[in-house]
Amino acid sequence: MEKWAQKIAFWFKDQLQLDEDQTEVVAYSVTSFFLLCANLCFLFFVCRLLGVVGEGFTAALTAAALRSVTGGAHLSSPWRCLIFSSLLPASFGYLGKQAGTLLSPGIMAAILFSTLVWALLIVAKYAPAEVKERPIKPEKRGFYRKAGIIVTFAWAVLAGYFLFAGYPAHFLAGSCGFVWQTITLTPLGFTIYSRLSGKK
């Protein structure tokens, strides 16, 4: 994927006489854009197969919202990411659809509360979790941590709405997505992603 992006970036460089920095930005942007589109398409395809488009996208978007401000572990290649980032939210969506209607409101409320407490603890301790490809300046760390806490409270409000407005499947899928994202902030999450990336 990055080779294609480089080729496209060189086309822009030839057309607009860009310098090295600008060409690098174009290559980065093209890679990110392709990755985003491919992820959404593949996620839609898998969720459609399982009949959980709404629930799967709820899980993926919930995790993405927290990830954008807290960072987290990443996989080593776009293809691994494509597979993992589609299968996992789709499975959460499936779980939400199957189990959402079986659990009592009391258990759901307990899930909401325990997820909120867990996420606040993890975000306060580990966020932002940076990777070498995307370093975070020390002076920005406090900002991202506070943003993570705000997103966590915003998630709790929205999840509460989903729960009490009669969308238990979406609530459960979103909660799984949220917990998954908090795990990617922890050393255990980095170990899991490292193993999934084929590293020892």
Partner 1 sequence: MKRLIAAVLFNLLSVFALATAVSASFISGYQPRLPKSLQ
Residue ranges binding partner 1 (CB under 8 A): 2, 11-12, 15-16, 18, 21-22, 24-26, 28-33, 35-36, 39, 64, 67-72, 74-78, 80-82, 84-85, 127-131, 133-137, 144, 147, 193
Distances (CA, A) of 110 to 90, 97, 100, 103, 115: 23, 18, 14, 11, 8
- For the bound state, the minimum distance from the C-beta of residue 113 to partner 1, rounded and expressed in Å, comes to 26
By residue count, the chain amounts to: 200
Q: Given the complex with partner 1, which of 163 and 185 has the nearer CB atom?
A: 185
Q: Given the complex with partner 1, which of 53 and 136 has the nearer CB atom?
A: 136
- For the bound state, the minimum distance from the C-beta of residue 189 to partner 1, rounded and expressed in Å, comes to 11
Q: Given the complex with partner 1, which of 1 and 158 has the nearer CB atom?
A: 1
Distances (CA, A) of 12 to 24, 29, 52: 11, 12, 40
Distances (CA, A) of 91 to 58, 87, 150: 12, 6, 27
- For the bound state, the minimum distance from the C-beta of residue 74 to partner 1, rounded and expressed in Å, comes to 4
- For the bound state, the minimum distance from the C-beta of residue 35 to partner 1, rounded and expressed in Å, comes to 6
- Give the integer Cα–Cα distance in Å for 16 and 20: 12
